[in-house]
Structure 1
């Protein structure tokens, strides 16, 4: 192996997939969720430790030495009571445990991942503390957030048709005795893997690809139920009616709220209504007033949507020039039914609001969801429930994003890292992690029907040399 890494807050192993494809050996993993830890062990052959706060603190250090530390860490609020910045202020948070590991083992590379909002206006203080802590520990790290989404990465570099903006923090250790004149470096450069790529070129059938469901059971697992199809049939008729009414003009891009359709002369907006909501209420009233005759007929046919849940009486049309609803990708959201072009999918989330392939009247399958995260087809979820698997995938990190960020980090910081087994392994790795994860696997293991229980040791899937 070219280098050793530790995988903190590991989930089911997205970081492991990326670094393993580069020739890394995982010497330690932590994951407090027992179900995710089982899946991690099943696929990677390493049983994750549980509570990181017990394994890495002021008195205990069970994490072994390593070259690279990675993790999708939880962001807990840091105290704002004083002006103290750095490690002292992170105490009581899980980030402090990461910092403690870094302080003891001084890995050459630290790569952390978090949700987009960690670098947003509500978390300015937390962001400053994280960056300052890493710098105090002797690392080069940019104060600018590195936001990466797999749908912006070309497919030949491991990109995926999924909008999934995540912030990466790429920190590289400054060797002892070396002065780093690059006190505020640029974020790692991903321009090469994004060059001339238009995300509208994604094709789900080609680039995911969509599964061909051949059994009744596989179809039933993801098929829409009759009530869901009824909601979509009603809104599809709305789309087709408005296509005729608007005579070639674009369908409204603002949220369509059927419950708030009133004639503009009867529109009454309560005092204190937020400006954004007032704007949408006025636009819905204008739409209804201009097309009252056909919209009244539509409402009457569908019994004024009275048997539809409130969130299904709303439509968010983001599918541009799609001819009808069945040509789109759909998402049942609390804010309404969202329709988008069938190019790339919305982010997987840690709940069962999975994307819907409208043409096939079904949700995406577990295997398709795993592909969106860059996990290979041999990745095994054994016999756990679908809802739990969707949750784990929604909580995961995208393999291609990690793979390309780490490569870019090494390129940026070669002046610090120098030539070594670590840099050689990462820079000489294939341009696409799929070349390793998809082609060098003992596939016969996947078909085994093995019960995965807490008290049973399951042998790992084996990579073929």
Structure 2
């Protein structure tokens, strides 16, 4: 959809828009969206509900060699579909149809030469398997006159302190940022605008506390987020295991290697096939030593809870303890993964994903609520998800961009490319908008989306 309005601070387009993470950050900076497009009807409905624009459409029909329905703009933002590059997909890159959507995006760049281009994708795009695809994106942008780093920015919201719009979520994402620079001003191969080594104002990622900084909702019961009886059984059993081990090991921290109940045998009885990979051989050996040391307690515990019965599938007979000195499993944040139960301290949480494995918040004895998940992405509490199923909300948030990170990336980008931006009216407008904005978008977004009273 295309929208026209009074002269804004800058104009932007929102490609592969999802529910509008880019829209939130860029509109909070004072920009006006001229065009948005999203092929998923449910995400598009949420976008329309909140932003007043219907983005339903297909970019391959709006931007190709014969048609250009995308209007002129100053900033092009695109959350390129991640499945061709994601570890959860087939990783075929540009051999897959969705990977070729970059070329529809490039057609828009060729037609309108936006002042700034912001491309977001999963961390895997910067991995060795997709070096070819990344180089194609960088090379084609340079051919169109853009200053762009050989190495993309890789960043996560948990690195930013709350005052800068950070959130307690490890969500490493790739950002390719480019500035139109046909005159070749300054460095043509700049450094990336952000890295995972960046730190701010003395803030450390381990300083996060979910209850305080997210914050967690006080309710222990949220519709659609409750644990099943089987899930509670598994957690209760391993919670007792954790407490037993703290007592028996006299305060010594639980092992950091995966604890596999199925691998518990006496060391003298351990038989490992010669073809077993080294990593598995090490884990089997460590579990045998652990079992031998604590056999009496472990046998009694396993019998009490029926660990080796059908009540515990193989994936629930394994605990990955990453919670350091946390006293109880119920005090941790858990992921019920296909590979086992992973527990960590309740500081930051793993990345929201568009499939399953929503984090279990032990102190609340339930999964993250949709509203808590929305906060992890920087969306205000007034953002309206309508009456859609919880699963649809999780999917949309798992596919989205983190607003605080977009805010930070744009600010870092204009600061890096200030020498180019100040040479054009469009660039100066973008600079003025970013320079005049607060350190974080949170208050602005809360004002844009007041909570219904």
| TM value normalised by structure 2 | 0.91
2:414 paired with 1:410: yes
Alignment pair present for 1:366 and 2:375: no
CA contact (8 A) 2:320 2:341 kept: yes
Map 1:74-223 onto structure 2 (within 5 A).
74=81, 93-174=100-181, 176=182, 178-189=183-194, 194-213=200-219, 219-223=222-226
Residue of structure 1 equivalent to 2:5: none
2:284 counterpart of 1:281? yes
* Residue in 1 that maps onto 2:342: 338
Three-state SS of the structure 1 residue aligned to 2:438 is coil
Distance in 2 separating the partners of 1:439 and 1:324: 39
- Aligned equivalents of 1:38 and 1:198: distance in 2? 38
Report 1:209-248 matches (<5 A).
209-213=215-219, 219-248=222-251
Aligned to 1:81: none
Separation in 2 of the partners of 1:8 and 1:353? 27
Distance in 2 between the 1:272 and 1:118 partners?
A: 33
Supply the RMSD in Å over aligned alpha carbons: 2.1
What's the CA shift for 1:189?
A: 4.8
Deviation at 1:273, TM superposition (A): 2.2
Counterpart selection for 2:45 from 33, 38, 44: 38
Counterpart-to-counterpart distance in 1, 2:82 and 2:390: 27
Quote the Cα distance in structure 2 between the aligned partners of 1:77 and 1:366: 27
**Separation in 1, partners of 2:14, 2:199:** 25
After the TM superposition, which segments of 4 or more aligned residues of structure 1 sit over 4 Å from their partners?
75-78, 89-92, 189-193
Q: 1:55 aligns with which of 28, 41, 62?
A: 62
Question: Relative contact order, CA 8 A, sep 6+: which one is greater?
Answer: 1
Q: Are 1:421 and 2:425 matched, yes or no? A: no
Which consecutive unaligned segments of at least 5 residues does structure 1 have? Answer: 79-86, 448-465
Matched, 1:436 2:441: no
In structure 1, what is the Cα distance between the partners aligned to 2:104 and 2:434?
26
For the residues of structure 2 that align with 1:192 and 1:113, how far apart are their CA atoms? 18
Q: 1:311 aligned to 306, 309, 315, which one?
A: 315
Maintained 8 Å contact 2:76/2:116: yes
SS of 2:230's partner is helix
Deviates more, 1:396-405 or 1:184-193: 184-193
Q: What is the aligned partner in structure 2 of residue 2 from structure 1?
A: 9
- Structure 1 residue 134 displacement after superposition: 1.2
Out of 47-56 and 274-283, give the one that drifted further. 274-283
Indicate the SS of the match to 1:222. Answer: coil
Contact 1:189–1:412 under 8 Å retained in 2: no
Give 1:21 deviation, angstroms.
0.6
**Conserved in 2, the CA contact under 8 Å of 1:75 and 1:95?**
no
1-structure distance, mates of 2:234, 2:431: 54
Measure the CA separation in 2 of the matches of 1:3 and 1:254: 51
Task: Kindly provide the CA deviation profile for residues 20-40 of structure 1, in whole angstroms up to 9, marking residues without a partner as x.
Answer: 110010111111100000000
Count of aligned pairs:
431
Asked if the contact 1:410–1:427 (Cα under 8 Å) also holds between the matched residues in 2, the reply is no
Contact residue 316 and residue 339 of structure 1 kept, 8 A: yes
Query: Do the aligned partners of 1:63 and 1:101 also contact (CA within 8 Å) in 2?
Result: yes
